[in-house]
Every structure is written in C-alpha cells, then in structure tokens.
Structure 1
C-alpha cells in the first residue's frame, strides 16, 4: 500500500485518476467493514451484511465526490468522512429493521441494539454523523483500556443485553456483571475528568 497521503489520493481521484479510486478503496475497505461490523448487534447482522452497508457507503462517497460535494483538507478527513457515511448508512438500516413489523426483537433473542439510542437521537435531529463517528472513535479508545472481560461486558451492554443475559454469555454471576459495569463506569468517569 502506498504511503501517499489521503489528501493527495482524494485530489487525484477528483482530477479523474481512476487508480486513485482503487487506492482509496483498498486503503479503507477493510477498516470500514470492521467499523460497521463492530457497531452492529448480532440480531441486526443476521439481517444485514456489514459489507452491503459498506458497499452502499462507497457508492454514496464516489457519487458525491465526483460532483465535488466534499472538501478534504488534512490527513484524517477522508477516513472521518468515509466512516461518517458508513455509520449513517448503517443507522438507516438499523432504523428500517427496527420498525414495528420488521423489528429484530421478534427474531427470537429479544435483544436491542446499542445503536438504538443514537439512531433515535439522529432521527430527532441529534448529532450529525461526524459527531457519531467521533463518539465511536472515543469509545474505541476507551475500550482499548479495558481488560478483555470488561470489553466483552461493555460490548454486550451497549447492545442492550440485560445483566442476566450477559452473565449467561460470559459464564459469570449477575453480581460479577454488576461489579464489572461499576468498574467500567468509574474508569469512564476518571477518563472524562
């Protein structure tokens, strides 16, 4: 993979260089699929393939980039833009599959998505996709500081799993789950201060 900056790649693409489009795709496709896959609950993933969402995000990006709708000025802007597009596409699909008659909660597990609150916030004119992307990046940075059990517990809790469901999943007691969530809460408060 080239060491060329994303800013240069984007400007080459805007100038009509089709190789630049391939380079952008190769540089970010796996990262985008990972981002979407990590943000989707298992019930949603049974209905929607993360790669389909990323494919839709690529189409939107290349269509709008061709017409000059984006401005990439510094390193990191291109990734932030692609991530925001992918998250927006994903949230749209989550909302669609959470609609009353289609809800994934009817699929058996009855677990909601950790994205439900964020999705509803976006519906209500809440944070734009760029802020949602920053939130997820900050969440990723926080989760790296946790031990594997804490990461698993937090990940399941963000998918709206109950303490009892988490306890069964990780093979621990409900009390241990509560204690782990309290430790995570304290670590998050410390990070915020």
Structure 2
C-alpha cells in the first residue's frame, strides 16, 4: 500500500468538512476497510449482512469521531490500525448482539428454502389464519350456537367469539353483565349437550 504524502493535511481538511478531502480519504482507504471487514466477518453473519453495511458504519463512526474529537495519527500505518480496530469492533458488536442475546438470536431463524435433492424448495410455514376447512367448521359451530336465539343473543355470542370480555360485551350491547354471562353459559350448555 502506498503512503499518502501528507495525512495530517488531508485529515484536517476532512475535519473541516471539505467534501473533496472526505471523498479522497474514502477513495484511498475504503478498499482496505472492506478487506478488514471481510476478514473479520464470521460465516454466520455473511448471510445476514453485506460487508458494505459494516464499511459504512466504520466511516460513520470515523468521521463523527473526527469532528467531535481531535484524532491525531502519527502516520498512515497508525491510521490503518485505528480503522482496523473500528472495523473489528463493529463486526464483533453485531456478532455478539445476534448470537448472545435472546431477543435477536440467529438460532431462532430458519431458512426460507431447504435443499431437497438437487434443488431448493420453499419451506411450508403454517398460516396464522384458519384453513378453509377450519373456517367452515367454525361457521357451522356458530350456526349451531345461534340457532333459535334472539338477535341480541346472537350479537352477544358473536362478540364473545371475537374475543371481547363479558364487561365489554355488556357495554357494547347495553345488557347487564349477568345477562351476558347467562347467554354465554346457555350457548355453552347447548354445545356440550350436542356432543
């Protein structure tokens, strides 16, 4: 790697916000930072992140730090060591977050495609929605529950089916809580009698 003629002059221009200096600086060191990141990126994270995500994070930290604090680098080698340390810390921090914390653990993730024979096949995932046959069964059960009921009783049963509490149903329908409870218990007894 060639040495830059005057690193301190380029850094002071970049610190002052000179966009040409920042572009020159990034153009000079980005290939090295990318190599630093790729060398430290664990195999586990390679499927989750592009190395350029980390490179951008390194530059963000570097230039923020440069503006906020006076970073003095003895020479280009010192600067490269500093950039390597920032890259290492960014990768390590993300790896630790995704492998050692319960909230983001990669062990919970499953591949969307699995290899079967010589090709990749999409994995079947259960839907949170009921299957068509479950929907028909639920509709039949609701028809049985509400058979012979008054419109108000049907409303109470449907609201209970939708997950409302007795108190919420009473408030919504204008009935007393005891009446709501009596209607629901009578519907439950009718269903148990049919089994």
Give the structure with the larger helix fraction: 1
**Structure 1 length normalisation: TM-score?**
0.49
Query: Which protein, 1 or 2, shows the higher relative CO under an 8 Å CA cutoff with sep ≥ 6?
Result: 1
Per the normalisation by structure 2, the TM-score is 0.48
Larger radius of gyration: 2
The structure where strand makes up a greater share of residues is: 2
